[in-house]
């Protein structure tokens, strides 16, 4: 049984891919390694972060992760979700 039967899976996949790309972009712009970011959000290795940035095996960030990541990177969460610079 699907919880959300009318959802377009391709659109949802693209949404998660865009978020992973935004996290990677902001992280690299700030000069922060995957390990540094992973540790700052409570993970001990880069595997989770790497999988989510690349949407490997459909692994993705949840809202708590996005909150912690945006805080660790010093950006508005909107920059992570939609890719817009909203710090102005």
Could you read off the pLDDT of 37-83 as tens digits, one per residue? 999 999 999 999 999 999 999 999 999 999 999 999 999 999 999 98
Q: Is the separation of the CB atoms in 20 and 54 below 8 Å?
A: yes
What CATH architecture applies to the domain 9-81?
Answer: Orthogonal Bundle (1.10)
Phi, psi of 83 (to 5 degrees): 90, 5
- Report the C-alpha gap between 16 and 22 in whole angstroms: 10
pLDDT at 20 > cutoff 90? yes
Q: What is the pTM of this model?
A: 0.87
Q: How many helices (H) and strands (E) does the chain have?
A: 5, 0
pLDDT score of 6: 77
């Amino acid at each position: 049984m699907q919880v959300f039967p009318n959802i377009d899976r391709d659109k949802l996949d693209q949404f998660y891919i865009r978020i992973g790309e935004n996290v990677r972009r902001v992280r690299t712009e700030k000069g922060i390694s995957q390990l540094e970011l992973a540790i700052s959000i409570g993970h001990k290795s880069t595997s989770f972060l790497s999988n989510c940035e690349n949407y490997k095996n459909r692994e993705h960030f949840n809202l708590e992760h996005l909150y912690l990541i945006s805080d660790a990177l010093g950006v508005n969460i909107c920059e992570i979700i939609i890719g817009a610079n909203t710090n102005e």
